[in-house]
Amino acid sequence: MPKSEELELLQGTLDLLVLKTLSWGAMHGYGVARWIRETTDNVLQVEDRALYVSLHRMEERGWIVSEWGLSENNRKAKYYELTPAGRRQLRSQSARFASYAEAVFKVLQTA
């Protein structure tokens, strides 16, 4: 996909996306990247570096926890999972993003 059409993500929304992704179940970092790419039909290109920073930061805050495990092809991988605190974050951040998007739309639709 041509680079000019890639949308750049705001910092906070990446966290939101990762949290939502993990709400489907425990995943390793690569799995999260792939999921986001597939679900957004390649529209959102997440920079992997940023993804891992987001994952580790959220782990430090206690929204997700990590565990080493075996991947589908028997390789050692680090799996992440939501905590109850993380679920609360997901709910509140979703709501906030929704109202933010709604507000932006309202302005755009006036034109």
Partner 1 sequence: MKFPRGVRRWFRLRTGATDVLHDIDDELQFHIESRIEDLVRRGSTEAAARAQALREFGDVCEAREKLCGYARRHRERIQRNEWWSDVGTDFRLAFRFLKQRPGFVLLLALTLGLGLGANLVTFDVADRLLFRPPAHVVDADGIRRIHFQRTYSFLGLNTSSYTTYVDFLDLQRHSRSLSNVAAFASSNAALGRGDDARRVRQGIVTASFFDVLGVRPHLGSFYSEAEDSPPHGTAVVVLDYDFWQGNFGGARDVLGTQLLIGNTSYAVIGVAPRGFTGVGLQRVDVWTPASVVAEERMGSDFATSRNMTWLQLIARLKPDVTTEQAEQEATAVWRRVAEPRVQDDHTARVLLSPIQEARGPGETRLARQGKVATWLGGVSLLVLLVACANAANLMLARTIDNRREIGIRIALGIGRMRLFRQLVVEGLVLVTIAAAGALLIAHYGATLLHAVLLRDIHAGDGVLNARMLGFLAIAVLFTLAATLLPPGIQMLREAVIPSLRSGAREGRQRSRLRVALLFTQAVFSVVLLIGATLFVRSLQNAARFDFGFDPHRTLVADVDLHLLDMKTAQIREFYEQAMERVARTPGVESTAISSAVPMESSRATTFRAEGVDSVPIPPTGGPYITLVTPSYFQTTDIRVLEGRAFSNQDRKGTAPVAVLGQTMARLLWPGESALGKCVYIGGDDDNPAACSTVVGVVEDVRTHGIVRTDVMQYYVPLAQEQVRNSTFALFVRAKSRTADAGAWSLRLGRDADAASLRSSQDIDAAALVRPVTRELQAIRSGLPYVNVRVLQSLVDPQLESWRLGAVLFTTFGILGLLLAAIGLYSMLSWAVASRTREMGVRIALGARARDVITLIMKDGMRVAAAGVIVGIILAAAASKFVAPLLFDVSPREPLPYLIGGAILLAVALLATILPARRATTVEPAITLKSD
What stretch of H or E contains 81?
strand 76-82
Handedness of CA 83, 70, 54, 20 (dihedral sign): negative
- The DSSP code for 7 is B
Shortest distance, CB of residue 60 to partner 1, whole angstroms?
Answer: 4
| Residue closer to partner 1, measured from CB, 30 or 97 | 30
Site for partner 1 in 52-71 (CB under 8 A): 52-53, 56-57, 59-60, 65, 67-71
Pairwise CA distance, residues 111 & 106, whole Å: 9
Residues that bind partner 1 (CB under 8 A): 25-26, 28-30, 33-34, 45, 47-50, 52-53, 56-57, 59-60, 65, 67-71, 75-79, 81
